[in-house]
Structure formats: structure tokens, C-alpha cells
Amino acid sequence: MSFLNSIYSRKIIGEKIIYRIFGIKISKRNNGLNIQKFNLIKMRKNIINKILSSKTQYVSFDIFDTLLVRPCINPKDIFVLLAQKYNSKYNIDFLNMRINAENDCKISNANIYEIYNFIQKKYNLSDEIKTILLNEEIELEYNLLSVRQDTKEFYDTALNNGKKIIAVSDMYLPANILDKILKKNGFNNIQKIYVSNEYKARKDDGELYDIVINDLQTNKILHIGDNYNSDYISPLKKNISAVFYPKTTEIFRSCNKLFNKLICSCFSIYNSDEQLNKNIFLGFIVNNYLFNKNTYNSKIFNSISDFVNLFLAPYLFYITFRIQYNPIIQNSYDEIYFASRDGFLPNKVYSLLNQNTVRGGVISFLQNIYTVQGLPTGRGFIILLKTC
């Protein structure tokens, strides 16, 4: 236990919480940490009560960032992944081709097939390349989208209490593809999917809700979604009961100023692979760990387990992954040495992940011979999340 305390400790003294990580002290005022933009406990209770209400016959869900989440922060990261794979292979600039195509094609509520037909015509792509890129994007969405666990409870509550469930989305993927993705993630009881590209109507202007009401012949509907305008204001104007539940990134950024800066930095202009790597790293933390545990407070780490799972493990993976896939490192050296003691864990992870790469090892140094760059203060340690 003394070993664990030497890595991480948390102590409340008066108005402050004193964090020590590897002996480095971080001070935060209690009020500063406990202030939240969203009262999630109250919001969740309100949603559950509305689902259980006798006035609710149908429960309607937004899909992206409500039922499903991507393992990244910026939705455009999917396009960047495809660009990395196919730019050199086909001598194209996929990100530039794809990022504005939905708007540039001048087709109202275009589907993904119409978008790629536009791309093919504009950039003179062959049928084969167009089909490969199109299918790859669909497959990537299918493989990467996962359940948002903190909203899965709403779906389960509706299902277990005999409510009919539908999904309503402004999206270019057609309903049959969305249905496959949802079922792969355990949403097997959604009766119908209303998607903008098939009905040529959108949630944000309310026209898609008109179609839903006319089709179901009732407005005894509760809609749940993460977009304040499209999922809350717009359905209310159509006399549909609605609740706004923020996306995971909005909850994360509301915790404190540092987290807000981290999220905002993920939407800057891509200038290297580092931007994508950071977005995926942070996306894993926010979507695949923090909110899978239904964590609704803004404390940095509640336990040593949280510290390891939320920060240390993914960061160690990120460090070693970069070393393994850096061609300069792998082609220039016969062996890589990690300086102990700080290099002990990176070496362990590197060895576990080692697949036909340069062999790793540990070399001992006296502590005063070297310093760990980027860790001048406790705040600097946390800011590694931003600068990685």
C-alpha cells in the first residue's frame, strides 16, 4: 500500500484537495472541482421518470453521440484514418476530397452514395477506387462505433417497461446500415429508424419530426439526444416531449478548464499525424473508460485504479506504439533501452506489444543524471494529456 501511495495520493486539507502523483503536488480548491455545468444525476432521474410516464408511448433516440460513440473526439478523425491508408496508394488527398463533400454536392440531405458519386465526378476517380473508399468508410463506422454506456440505461429502461423505441437521426448513412450498426452493439429492439437522407427532411428544422408524428399517428413521444437545438428545442416546437443529454465530450470539458482546453484542441487544423493520435488517445479516455464506468463527477482520479485505467495505461500504450511504428527508430537502432526507474513500465508494455520490432531493454541510471521532459510540475504531468 505504501508503494501505491508513493505513486498517487489524495488528501483534503481545508478548502483544498492535495493530489500527489509520483510525489508531485497538485492543489485544487474543492469548489473548483465540484462545480459542474451539468447536474447529471438530476438529469438522469428526470429522463428515467419521463420514460416511465404513462404519457410516453414511444421513446425516440438520437443515434450518434447518444446511443453510439466513436473512439475519437472529432468526427472528422474517421476521414483522417482513411486518408492515412489510401492517400499514397491512390495518389489522392482524401481528407480534402471528403471533408466538405456533403455540403458541396448541393444535394439536400444527401446519402453516402450520392456524396461519393459527387466525389468521383469532381476528382475523376475510377469506379473501383470510388467503391473501395465508400465501402471502407462504411466498414470503419461499423467497426469503430460502440455503445455509449451511460445512455444505454435509458434504452434498457424503455425496453423493460414496454415502451416502443425508435431512432431519429440527421445523417448520411442509410437506415439499413444504421440498423446493422445498432444491432451489432446490442440495440435489437428499435422498431424504426427515421434518417434525414431517406426522408429528405431534418430534425434541426423540425420537418423530420412532422414525418415521425404522421407515421406513428401520435405525439406521445419522448425524444432524447445530445444536440440542444435538434434534439430538444426542435421537437418541443412540434409538441413532442424532449430531454437534452450532453455528449460525453461536453460533459468532460465542463469538468474544469484544463479538460475544456484538451477537447477544444482536438478540433484544430490537422497538420500531422500527431493530431489524430492525440484525438484517438483522448477519445479512448472519454468514451471507452470514463463514461463506461458511469463517472459523473469532475475529480481527476478517485482511486489508483482510475489513475491506471484512465491515464497511465493508455498513455504507456501510446508511447510504446509510437516507438514501434516510427520507421526512423526501428531502422536506425538494433536495440532500444528504457532508462530505469521511469522506463520500467514503458519497457514492460513495449515488450508485451513487440511484434517483429527492435528489441527493448532497461538500462539503469542514477536519478540525478536525467530528468523527465514535460514534467516540471504536477500540472505539467496532467498536461501531457494535451501535448501527447
Most confident option among 20-29, 39-48, 173-182, 311-320: 173-182
pLDDT tens profile 80-103: 889 989 999 999 999 999 999 999
Distance in angstroms (rounded) separating the CA atoms of residues 35 and 32: 6
Per-residue DSSP letter, 204: T
Taking CA atoms, 272 is separated from 85, 375, 379, in Å, by 14, 24, 25
User: Helices 175-184 and 127-144 meet at what angle, rounded to 10?
Assistant: 40
Q: What is the pLDDT of residue 162?
A: 97
Considering Cα of 211, then 212, then 213, then 219, what sign does the dihedral take?
negative
Q: What is the pLDDT of residue 123?
A: 96
Query: DSSP per residue over 218-282, as a string?
Result: ---EEEEES-TIIIIIHHHHTT-EEEE---HHHHHHTT-HHHHHHHHHTTSPP-SHHHHHHHHHH
Average pLDDT on 369-382 reads 43
**Res. 270: pLDDT tops 80:** no
User: From 2.60.40.3080, 1.10.260.40, 3.40.50.2000, 3.40.50.1000, which CATH number describes the 40-70+145-246 domain?
Assistant: 3.40.50.1000
Residue 70 preceded by cis peptide, ω within 30: no
* Domain range summary for the chain, segments of one domain joined by +: 40-70+145-246, 77-144, 250-387
Which residue would you say has higher pLDDT here, 318 or 364? 318
Q: How confident is the model at residue 291 (pLDDT cuts 50, 70, 90)?
A: low
Q: How confident is the model at residue 290 (pLDDT cuts 50, 70, 90)?
A: low
At 56, list the grid cell. 410516453
Query: 124, 17 in Cβ contact below 8 A?
Result: no
- Total length of the chain: 388
pTM: 0.75
**Res. 385: pLDDT tops 50:** no
H/E stretch holding 213 reads helix 207-216
Q: How confident is the model at residue 175 (pLDDT cuts 50, 70, 90)?
A: very high
Distance in angstroms (rounded) separating the CA atoms of residues 250 and 247: 5
